[in-house]
């Protein structure tokens, strides 16, 4: 049944990491900071983020060869380009990050099973974890991503009357 869908356990093949490591990291970093900025004030409350101001973060998707570097300036998230070390680095496989987003796994379980690695300022890591735990993400179901379902929702939105 689609509602009971669970992500399969997978690790991307090694060529993905070798290729991903050679590709520009700016496009996926821009996608990440855009998503975070869209969520600010809507899904992610701003108040707990005050302690993130001026901090630098790295997310490493190990099996995809991706290293996303970004910071928070108190108003928004932004890409970071210089090579200084991050205040907090989170590393995991693509599948484990997806499981976090889908709320199939919690950060504590992944951390204690050594599938999510945290390096740097552990107090900052706990603040990030607790903030994310408090965020109510909409449930993403694979059925909503099916092309027919997606285009039906898009048609419905485009045909809905607009208020003036």
Cβ count within 10 A of residue 107: 21
> pLDDT of the chain along its 164 residues, tens only?
345 668 889 899 999 999 999 999 999 999 999 999 998 988 888 888 899 999 999 999 999 999 999 999 999 999 999 889 999 999 999 999 988 888 888 888 998 999 999 999 989 988 888 877 777 766 656 566 567 777 777 778 778 776 55
Beta-ladder partners of 5: none
C-alpha distances out from residue 67 to 40, 98, 143, Å: 22, 16, 30
With beta carbons less than 8 A apart as the criterion, state whether 45 and 134 touch. yes
When the candidates are 3.40.50.800, 3.30.1050.10, 3.30.1330.180, 3.40.50.620, the CATH number that belongs to 9-137 is 3.30.1050.10
With beta carbons less than 8 A apart as the criterion, state whether 150 and 144 touch. yes
Reduced to 3 states (helix: H, G, I; strand: E, B; else coil), residue 22 is helix
> Which of 59, 62, 102, 64 minimizes the C-alpha distance to 77?
59
Please give the pLDDT value at position 83.
Answer: 84
Please give the pLDDT value at position 163.
Answer: 57
Sorted by where each begins, the domain ranges of the chain are 9-137
Please give the pLDDT value at position 146.
Answer: 66
Please give the pLDDT value at position 59.
Answer: 96
């Amino acid at each position: 049944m689609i509602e009971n869908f669970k992500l399969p356990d997978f690790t991307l093949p090694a060529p993905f990491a070798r290729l991903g490591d050679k590709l520009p990291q700016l496009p996926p970093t821009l996608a990440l900071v855009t998503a975070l900025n869209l969520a600010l004030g809507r899904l992610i409350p701003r108040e707990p983020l005050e302690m993130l101001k001026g901090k630098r973060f790295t997310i490493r998707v190990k099996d995809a060869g991706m290293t996303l570097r970004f910071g928070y300036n108190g108003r928004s998230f932004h890409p970071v380009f210089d090579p200084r070390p991050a205040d907090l680095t989170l590393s995991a496989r693509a599948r484990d990050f997806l499981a976090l987003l889908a709320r199939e796994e919690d950060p504590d379980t992944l951390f204690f099973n050594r599938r999510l690695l945290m390096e740097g300022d552990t107090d900052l890591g706990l603040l990030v974890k607790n903030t994310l735990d408090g965020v109510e993400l909409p449930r993403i179901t694979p059925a909503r991503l099916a092309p027919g379902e997606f285009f039906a929702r898009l048609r419905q939105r485009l045909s809905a009357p607009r208020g003036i």
